[in-house]
Amino acid sequence: MEYADPVADLLDKWGAFRARLFRESCVFHRGNYVKDLSRLGRDLSRIIIVDNSPASYIFHPDNAVPVASWFDNMADTELLDLLPFFEGLSKVDDVYTVLKQHRTSS
């Protein structure tokens, strides 16, 4: 959380984020911290997971936007490069179609 909040602040210039969930919101499953979106009680077609660890989204891979780890790489711009994509996602009612297209084009 010590790095995720400042990053989320930079990404959410338009106030689109309705919630931020970190490790303490995860389920410990088979040695990994997993984001279990079903526990939120929200419409999953309007939720994305942005994470560098595929294990963290094994329960909801269709909601995932995988990103590369950036530790010690001060030149990393992946999240900034994804800003137009995230802005587009914020305008759709169902993220699944857009995320599927994104995965097949990547």
Tens of pLDDT, residues 12-62: 877 777 778 777 888 999 999 999 999 888 999 999 999 889 999 999 999
How much is the pTM? 0.80
Q: Please say if the pLDDT value at position 64 is more than 80.
A: yes
What distance in Å separates the CA atoms of residue 67 and residue 91, rounded to the nearest whole number? 21
Question: Domain range for residue 80?
Answer: 4-105
Collect all residues with Cβ–Cβ distance below 8 Å to 12 and sequence separation of at least 6: none
Local structure of 14: helix, strand or coil: coil
Q: What does the pLDDT read at residue 2? A: 64
Domain count, the chain: 1
With the C-alpha atoms ordered 52, 101, 20, 13, is the resulting torsion angle positive or negative?
Answer: positive
What distance in Å separates the CA atoms of residue 29 and residue 57, rounded to the nearest whole number? 11
Q: What does the pLDDT read at residue 16? A: 76
Check which CATH number belongs to the domain holding 28 and give it.
3.40.50.1000
Q: Summarize pLDDT for 74-83 with one digit per residue, the tens.
A: 888 888 888 8
